[in-house]
Amino acid sequence: MTAFRPFTWVGSTLAIALVFAFFTSTQETPADFRYVNSSGVHTLDPARMSWSQDFRVALNIWEGLTTSDPRTTQAQAGAAMFPPQLSSDQLTYTFTIREDARWSNGDPVLASDYIRGWRRGMEPGTGTDYTFLFTDNVAGASEYVHWRQRATGALTAMDRLRHGWDIDEQAALSLSRHPIFHDIQPHLPPSFFTDFDRDQGVALAKQLSASTLDWGDLYQRTFDQHVAKMDQRFSTVGLEAADDKTLVVRLLRPCPYFLDLTSFPSFLPCHASVELLRESVAGLTPEGLVVYDPQWTKPGCRKNGYPGLITNGPYYVSDWKFKRRLRMSANPFHRAFDTISSRTIDMLVYENTSVALMAYEAGEVDFLPGMDVPYDHEIAKLAQTGQRPDFHICKTFATYFMSFNCIDKRIEDRPNPFIDARVRRAFALAVDKNAIVNAVLQRGDLVAHTFIPPDALQGYHSSSGIQMDVAKAKQLLDEAGYPDGNNLPAVTLLYVPSDERVCQALARMWETNLGATVELRCQETKSFAEDKANHRFMIARGNWYGDYYDPTTFLDCFNTGNGNNDSGYSNEAYDKLLNRARNTANTTQRLSLLAQAERIIVEKDFPIIPLLHYSSPIAIKPYVSGLYPNPRLRFPFRYVSVDR
Amino acid sequence: MIRHLTRRLTWAMVTLIAVYVITFFMVVMVPGQPFQQSDRNMPIEVERALRAQYSMDNNWLYFWEFLGGAVKLDFGPSFTYNDWTCTQIVAHALPISATIGILAILFAVLVGVPLGVISASRRNTWLDVSIVSGVLIGISLPTFVTGAALLAVFTVAWPILPIGGWGTLQHLPLPVITLSLPFIAYICRLTRMAMLDALSSDYIRTAIAKGVSPHDVLWTHALKVAFLPVLSYVGPATAQAVTGSFVVEKVFGVPGMGQHFVNAALNADAGLIMSTVLVFSVSLISLNFVIDVLYAWLDPRIIMAY
């Protein structure tokens, strides 16, 4: 063998040179404006979005009936005339879509495109986190969504049964809540069933799994009936296209922030071509879900004659390389096209936030909408002292807190002391929030005494909350039967790795100030989410980002039975106040009722201890204009101009 | 030879199936559901329906459906990145990692082997000592340190290369060199030891006695035997390099496979976990297989052992 002779080296070198040559041929021209999104886009489907980095792209490529002002993020004109007509009872909005509103392929934007988009936001499985924005506000939406959800629950269970598989109690309970159960019940052994608890659910699941009913027939009947009724049921939702350009929205109750909502991604329109990618027989999967081929958000998707993603915003997606780069180009059919200075925008992905910052420093990118680096306290200092005028601090509309389990009497093997509000209050009083914000984190966050960030909402008067008071805390513990922390069971504190320092500090405060024993339990995020949702915690970390400019975006979390009420908190007075506010048209009165409700949770009951309101540093190159730091981190790029 | 290869191939299949079975059960057993990626809770009916839609409420069915898809290279949807299928994600990431990996291994062999040979032939000289200590440093220093150091030198102190990302020629050198450093060190050490062994053997003495030039003795006669351990190391090393290094990719912002190994697990993204593991296993097993064949060709005595 003659390996490793000089010519072999030459050959290998040539091979490498070839690879290099291949690469140089794929050079990409840089965009007019470049920004970083450290983890990339999770989805471009507005109905499924949950993350602000996804919202940011969506709000640039689509346009809602309203949009948000780049400085104040207050609602301003969008694809519809502004302001829309509002009926005297404040329940009916009539939006007139602009004559010049066009999709990126030139089609006119129609009222039905908005209905299509909104319907996707309501459909179970298609709409995810923000279905509640419709069910809470649009007339008939709640009934429609629950009707759909009940049906998917029952169809899923029967689909399993007709295949001869056993079902569990959860599926059995879902089935028992559907009208078809009236046909099933007579065939089951006569017994106690009207409304089921968990144990009865187990028994029911066994009976159903063992029964000899003709599940195939029952399933098909339910499925056919459901499909036949779907459109008719949807027509009862308060959305109507009076003509091509007129959208009439009937609300459940007066909603002072509705025009803010219509600028939110869930309320974006959807082009008719999406229907080409609807998967499933008769429009539904066997489980009763409406499913679209997830490829519909790709500019290059050509399945079934689909023309690729069509949007109606100032930009359209011209190229999307997974986890690498998403390029937006100005939409030539948009009315503002001539005024758009940055014609191409690159969203670049750097998994490592430090690398993103280095790229910014090197001038490879122009804008960092977040700087979540390990040395964030240094960044905060640079921004606050004015040493780096291009670093800005955004006081976000968000709160970081610890929540208590207020409902379960026992957790694992021990009693839960936090069902007693006095104990929760004592724990809240014993926390030195200033130390956490200024000594532990040092990121320049705002100490939180309330759940809703103060001064964020016009006309809303926040409570001043409570100040640290160890003596009072001890007294409360004493009253609750735990003098000096005696008899107090060991308290578990559940959190995710990023909370490590805060939770250690908290544990220390509770141990020294109250004599409590605190067990720290750090979990990776998925296990954490599961344990928290199933109430397997005593104290757990939490945070909440307001979605729209109204106190209810925060306060609804503690409504009895709200899906995000992980504390299991329930207070009749609180629920009543929220309910009264819902039916109060007068803004001042309404806000004062909501402020009263907030006082219940931050002065008296403490389902949570608010710790801080996040301050989020962003970096904007001095040569960029048209970007403004704002609490919702919304950045419309059509106003951005770059003068390098 | 055929018998040898058939035997290896069978074992490769068995290994692959075992990997799938074990990964599958680990994925099924981990807590947390993949459909909800945010902090908000999902209605139970909807979660159940989604689970059913992907056959995830019936492990046995899911096991076969995923396997059936995987055989056709269809790994199903990713639950973290709703708009992408796992196949698309792997198809985006694997070529990137492979380019870096192959170049890194090539670079490591081209640098590591000569270093090893030189070091062995100049045993106990200052050259040998400095190579050996350099290698020790190369093995001990983690890539996130060397990567960061290279970044500091070539992008900040002397800005001739871009900081991170992918798409141009300039994006290649830093990750390739960083990834290759530990491989260089290891290959150099292997070569050195094997060369020392070979140089003291009888056939080399014979070759020298027959008047073969020192250059040929070193680079042809001795290296041919000494290269075998390097070859057996290069196989798995290539698989490891090709499927991406989480650290190197993270440091240089390279959108390769490495990040998915970690993120998929953290997000409980079942399909993505299994597809990354399967892709890794297939590359590892097939590269080992290729190495086996090469080995048998370089040293026929190996087949005799079977």
CATH of the domain at A405: 3.10.105.10
**Partner residue facing A297 (CB), from B83, B165, B267:** B83
Quick one: which of A76, A74, A94 has its CA closest to A84? Answer: A94
A583 found inside a domain: yes
Name every chain B residue with its beta carbon within 8 A of the beta carbon of A291.
53
Contact B227 A351 (CB under 8 A): no
Domain count, chain A: 2
The CB density around residue A583, as the number of other CB atoms within 10 Å, is: 10
Instruction: State the Cα–Cα distance between residues A191 and B151, nearest whole angstrom.
Output: 73
Residue B165 with chain A: CB contacts under 8 Å:
324, 348, 350, 359, 364
pLDDT of residue A17: 63
Strand partners, A414: A411
Q: How far is A218 from chain B (nearest CA, A)?
A: 18
E-strand spans in A435-581?
A: 446-447, 491-495, 518-522, 539-545
Rounded Cα distance between B78 and B65, Å, is 15
Residue A448, in any domain of the structure: yes
Q: What is the DSSP letter of A453?
A: P
Q: What is the pLDDT of residue A468?
A: 95
Any residues with CB less than 8 A from the CB of B283 and at least 6 apart, and which?
B238, B239, B242, B243
Phi, psi of A523 (to 5 degrees): -130, 155
Rounded distance between C-alpha atoms, residue A201 and residue A167, angstroms: 10
Coil vs helix vs strand at A10: helix
pLDDT digits (tens, 9 = 90+) for B260-278: 888 888 888 899 999 999 9
Please report the pLDDT score of residue A27 as a whole number: 56
Is A26 within a domain? no
Which two three-digit tokens encode residue B181? 């450093």
3 state SS of B77: strand
Say yes or no: B205 contacts chain A, CB-CB below 8 A.
no
Smallest Cβ distance to B82: which of A12, A294, A348? A294
Average pLDDT over residues B150-171: 84
Please indicate whether, in this complex, the C-beta atoms of A348 and B43 are within 8 angstroms of each other.
Answer: no
Q: Kindly state the tokens that stand for A193.
A: 């069933």
* SS3 assignment, position A461: coil
| Token pair of A62 as six digits | 């689509």
Nearest-neighbour CA in chain A from B18: distance (Å):
26
Nearest chain A residue to B111 by CA distance is A9
Over residues B29-51, mean pLDDT? 79
Yes or no, beta carbons of B48 and A174 under 8 Å apart: yes
Q: What pLDDT, on the 0 to 100 scale, is given for residue A189?
A: 74
> Span B242-259, mean pLDDT?
84
DSSP designation for A69: -
Structure token digits, residue A341:
């200075």
Question: Which of B:51-90 have CB within 8 Å of A?
Answer: 52-53, 57-58, 77, 80-85, 88-89
Q: How far is A354 from chain B (nearest CA, A)?
A: 9
What is the reported pLDDT for A13? 66
**Cβ atoms of residues A514 and A474 within 8 Å:** yes
Task: State which residue of chain B sits closest to A354, comparing Cα positions.
Answer: B251
CB distance A539 to A512 below 8 Å:
no
- Please, which pLDDT band fits residue B283 given cuts at 50, 70 and 90? confident
Instruction: State whether B165 and A149 contact (CB < 8 Å).
Output: no
Task: Give whole-number Cα distances, B125 to A546, B119, B185, B204, B205, in Å.
Answer: 69, 8, 19, 21, 22
Count the neighbouring beta carbons within 10 Å of the beta carbon of residue A362: 14
Interface contact flag, A322 B298, Cβ < 8 Å:
no
Structure confidence by residue, pLDDT tens digits, B208-236: 888 888 888 888 888 888 888 888 888 78
Q: Provide the 3-class DSSP secondary structure of residue A448.
A: coil
Verify whether the Cβ–Cβ distance B259 to A152 is below 8 Å: no
- Out of B48, B58, B163, whose CB is closest to A170? B48
Residue A165 covered by a domain: yes
For residue A539, give its domain range: 398-613
pLDDT at residue number A531: 87
| CB of B137 less than 8 A from some CB of A | no
Question: Which of B36, B52, B164 minimises the CB distance to A160?
Answer: B52
Last residue within a domain, chosen from A216, A232, A248:
A232
User: Which parts of chain A have pLDDT scores under 70?
Assistant: 1-28, 190-198, 280-282
What pLDDT is stored for residue A5 in this prediction? Answer: 52
Is A23–B58 a contact, with Cβ atoms under 8 angstroms apart? no
Tell me phi and psi for residue A615, to 5 degrees: -110, 125
Q: Looking at the complex, report in whole angstroms how far the Cα of residue A99 sits from the nearest Cα belonging to chain B.
A: 32
List all residues of chain B from 238 to 277 with a beta carbon under 8 Å from chain A: 249-253, 255, 259, 266-268
Q: Residue B176 above 70 pLDDT?
A: yes
Q: Which among A250, A252, A230, A231 has a CA at the least distance from the CA of A240? A: A250
Judge whether A187 lies within some domain. Answer: yes
The residue of chain B nearest to residue A288, with distances taken between CA atoms, is: B49
* Structure token digits, residue A416: 């839960």
Nearest CA of chain B to the CA of A287: how many Å?
Answer: 6
How many A/B residue pairs have CB atoms within 8 Å?
207
* A-interface mutation test, from B27, B62, B83, B234, most A Cβ less than 10 A away: B83
Q: Tell me if A571 is assigned to some domain.
A: yes
Query: Residue B259: its chain A contacts at CB < 8 A?
Result: 323, 351
**pLDDT score, position B266:** 83
**A563: nearest CA in chain B?**
B41
Query: In this predicted structure, what is the pLDDT of residue B187?
Result: 93
Instruction: Say if the Cβ atoms of B253 and A349 lie within 8 Å.
Output: yes
| B87 vs B222, more confident | B87
pLDDT at A195: 60
Residues 208-237 of B with CB under 8 A from A: 219-220, 223-224, 227
A12 vs B contacts (CB less than 8 Å): 106, 110
Instruction: List the single best residue of B39, B45, B178, B180 to mutate versus A (max A Cβ within 10 A).
Output: B45
Distance CA B235, CA B12 (A): 14
pLDDT at residue B22 in the model: 94
Q: Which residues in chain A have their CB less than 8 angstroms from residue B228's CB?
A: none
Q: Hey, what amino acid is at B152? A: A
Q: At what angle do helices B86-121 and B223-242 cross, to 10 degrees?
A: 150
Quick one: which of A179, A283, A296, A157 has its CA closest to A231? Answer: A283
Residue of chain A with shortest Cα separation from B218: A4
Whether the per-residue pLDDT at B304 is higher than 60: the answer is: no
Residue A4 confidence (pLDDT): 47
Contact B191, B123 (CB under 8 A): no
CA distance, residue A50 to nearest chain B CA (Å): 6
- Cβ A526–B268 below 8 Å, yes or no? yes
CB–CB contact A362 B33 (8 Å)? no
CA distance A474 to A466: 15
DSSP A363-380: TS-SEES----TTHHHHH
A355 contacts B168? CB cut-off 8 A: no
Asked whether the beta carbons of residue B110 and residue A3 sit closer than 8 angstroms, the reply is: no
Candidate from A152, A156, A530 with C-beta closest to B31: A530
Assigned domain for A216 exists: yes
Identify the CA nearest to A245 among candidates A101, A83, A76: A101
With respect to residue A45, please indicate whether it lies within any of the assigned structural domains.
no
Nearest CB to B48: which of A156, A297, A352? A156
- Per-residue tokens: A373: 């680096």
